[in-house]
Structure 1
């Protein structure tokens, strides 16, 4: 009887589903502005610091690398501190990371900012699939598409608004620090939402590295697909705006082109995820998206002035749509929150640890060849390789 009473008390304290979903969306929105805001101001940062392209690439490499390495720590930390408290810690880390960018007199703090941002993103990305599966089990598809779309909204806002904010404030560092505001709002919303949630929100079992699905072919196919996609995405995120500035576009116009690239991701988060759930031949959809990505990259390499607004819309839509579809498969391929935690940890570790090298290598190639055409052609080749990884991603399977 005591157990039943405790269960009723916990159920009564649990926040309503719509409030949880809203809080999750607000948290997800803040996972990308810290990454997408910086590339649009690369020329200002270089003018202040004199850093090379390779050094600028490191600013994107560090958070992505941290996202991979710290993904392995999420299950153990969730067991130790609880999911809701770990999300709070992640949002604090993101807020501090963004605020550090305000110190223009010490630009080296950008590297510490990149580290803290990567840690915060790793924690949240590793927790959300399990939180969604456990707290919103009857709305899994809607919840997954909502938080993925929110992720894309954050990227779009960071890419499109940072240059106008910098022009308004007269400071690139304050424009980067501006994105601490939505992070603090998300922190307040999450704290309010989860204040009445059950005290015991830890995973039922801990996840050890040796227990991750290292021998599962589906898990490896999913990880490799996300890895190749993320190499292209983070390299594009770091270098699209600088490439158009180098080809004669103004900083503002290059920023708007970059904004189109990130804005298209919002639509992709809703449309392609919804299609992937409903259509029978999902691998055909993956193939179309990947081929379109490769064609867009080839156009950027050799025909940069040919309808760039359309090309960047296509690239943003299909590149991010592919990522969103594979991200949604983590919940689909998981039996419960524990298996989601294991699959998330393995997938994110492989994906981000390898993909972190993308922006840095692109910067090194640019310094060596002095050719944007070479950089984007190589990225198109990586897209072609991704076609091989989607073949095993069939329906009605579980990774355990």
Structure 2
């Protein structure tokens, strides 16, 4: 029963980590008409929360000295709920941007703790549970994208499509308060971990995580606008984000399950990146021929990449405390990179007049990450991640 409650908590918490991002794109045109929001400012609504997701995990080794896991989860979920409720009343650009920062900080706290929590609760089923966590995270984002325009239309204003996501945040808050395990949890001070700024493999994992998932934030930010440019509708753009999410969920659950017997994550990552590559090449070379197919391929590849890259990180270390610490660092640097990507792709759209230059950039990034993946042979984990003091001990 305890395991079932823990699994339920993982799903409920994960569902709250993407609606603040994906609810924006499908409602961008009415938001722009109402507030005068520009494309560069719209990019901030995606980029700033993702940057918060990057900066906060880097502070976890210090924050956890005075903020417990329980307190952090409560504060994070409360921040998401408050930001969404605030959005029900917003009518200015800067208030929108401020709400994005508040929500991003909340997501950052919860998301930064999740890999270590999953590693501690499900050490024997890490890949499968990370796949479920990733699938739930992406499902929340897809629901927000698809349902947002419908909710806004029902209530008669776009704010409702952004603010309604306070409801799952409040449900997650209640579920955590009631269902969480009551036993003591290890702290970084007791379990080891510290920071990873001086470790080359940690930096490689972080940059890899950021770039391998960089297409997600760009697609969430710009896919509805791209669809409109090719004669589509706002709801059609939202449906494309929903389609991408369906395939993300399939990738996050299916590929780790299919390859569960393999300890080497490179096979799955190569396959996932190749699928992404096909999708971006399709958008680049034949965007109107089969846009749904290209979006589905990108979603399938992105879902698999997110799950497998986090699993790859956690498997570099044996103890949950150290693996969670490394995952916080990797997510920290990684999400800073991921947050910058949509701003760059939006800038490329502004200076070039269309999204083709953006897709070229993402295609080149995927090609580069296909080459980098070769570095992650499992037999080299221990030596690559060893800190200088550990390496000296191993040689003595």
- TM-based fold match above 0.5: yes
Query: For residues 104-136 of structure 1, what are the alpha-carbon distances to aligned partners after superposition, in whole Å with 9 as ceiling and x for unaligned?
Result: 333422111111122112212221122222233
Q: What is the aligned partner in structure 2 of residue 113 from structure 1?
A: 99
CA deviation after TM superposition for structure 1 residue 206, in Å: 6.2
1:143-158 equivalent positions in 2, closer than 5 A: 143-158=129-144
Query: For residues 26-71 of structure 1, what are the alpha-carbon distances to aligned partners after superposition, in whole Å with 9 as ceiling and x for unaligned?
Result: 0011101111111111111111122221111111110111111111
Question: For 1:163 and 1:39, how far apart are their aligned partners in 2?
Answer: 10
CA deviation after TM superposition for structure 1 residue 363, in Å: 1.5
Structure 1 pair 202/293, CA: closer, same or farther in 2 (3 Å)? same
1:194-273 equivalent positions in 2, closer than 5 A: 194=180, 197-198=182-183, 200-203=184-187, 205=189, 211-212=195-196, 214-217=198-201, 219-273=202-256
Aligned to 2:296, which of 298, 313, 320? 313
Range with greater deviation from structure 2 (244-253 or 96-105): 96-105
| Structure 1 residue 177 corresponds to structure 2 residue 163 | yes
Q: What is the aligned partner in structure 1 of residue 115 from structure 2?
A: 129
Q: Secondary structure at the match of 2:374?
A: coil
Q: Is the 8 A contact 2:52 2:101 kept in 1?
A: yes
Structure 1 pair 78/57, CA: closer, same or farther in 2 (3 Å)? same
Q: Secondary structure at the match of 1:185?
A: helix
Aligned to 1:29, which of 15, 20, 27? 15
Q: Is the 8 A contact 2:12 2:172 kept in 1?
A: yes
Q: Is the 8 A contact 2:43 2:346 kept in 1?
A: yes
| Structure 1 residue 44 corresponds to structure 2 residue 60 | no
Q: Which residues of structure 1 form unaligned runs of 5+?
A: 1-14
Question: For 1:300 and 1:99, how far apart are their aligned partners in 2?
Answer: 36
Question: For 2:213 and 2:130, how far apart are their aligned partners in 1?
Answer: 19
Q: Secondary structure at the match of 1:348?
A: helix
Q: What is the aligned partner in structure 1 of residue 306 from structure 2?
A: 323
Aligned to 1:340, which of 310, 323, 341? 323
Q: Is the 8 A contact 1:264 1:316 kept in 2?
A: yes
Q: Secondary structure at the match of 1:214?
A: coil
Aligned to 1:363, which of 343, 346, 349? 346
Q: How many residues align?
A: 383
Q: Is the 8 A contact 2:276 2:302 kept in 1?
A: yes
Question: For 2:172 and 2:108, how far apart are their aligned partners in 1?
Answer: 16
Query: For residues 142-186 of structure 1, what are the alpha-carbon distances to aligned partners after superposition, in whole Å with 9 as ceiling and x for unaligned?
Result: 432222221121122122211222222221111110111111111
Aligned to 2:275, which of 278, 287, 292? 292
| Structure 1 residue 73 corresponds to structure 2 residue 48 | no
Q: Which residues of structure 2 form unaligned runs of 5+?
A: 387-396
Question: For 1:361 and 1:158, how far apart are their aligned partners in 2?
Answer: 24
Q: Secondary structure at the match of 1:81?
A: coil
CA deviation after TM superposition for structure 1 residue 289, in Å: 1.8
Q: What is the aligned partner in structure 2 of residue 89 from structure 1?
A: 75
Question: For 2:256 and 2:61, how far apart are their aligned partners in 1?
Answer: 26
Q: What is the aligned partner in structure 2 of residue 140 from structure 1?
A: 126
Range with greater deviation from structure 2 (219-228 or 372-381): 219-228
Q: Secondary structure at the match of 2:375?
A: coil
Question: For 1:321 and 1:136, how far apart are their aligned partners in 2?
Answer: 19
CA deviation after TM superposition for structure 1 residue 188, in Å: 0.5
CA deviation after TM superposition for structure 1 residue 138, in Å: 4.0
Question: For 2:13 and 2:254, how far apart are their aligned partners in 1?
Answer: 21
CA deviation after TM superposition for structure 1 residue 89, in Å: 0.8
**Root mean square deviation, CA, Å:** 2.1
Question: For 2:328 and 2:192, how far apart are their aligned partners in 1?
Answer: 10
CA deviation after TM superposition for structure 1 residue 77, in Å: 2.3
Q: What is the aligned partner in structure 1 of residue 48 from structure 2?
A: 62
Question: For 2:169 and 2:151, how far apart are their aligned partners in 1?
Answer: 17
CA deviation after TM superposition for structure 1 residue 248, in Å: 0.8
Structure 1 pair 288/41, CA: closer, same or farther in 2 (3 Å)? same
Q: What is the aligned partner in structure 2 of residue 373 from structure 1?
A: 356
| Structure 1 residue 302 corresponds to structure 2 residue 288 | no
1:156-171 equivalent positions in 2, closer than 5 A: 156-171=142-157
Q: What is the aligned partner in structure 2 of residue 7 from structure 1?
A: none
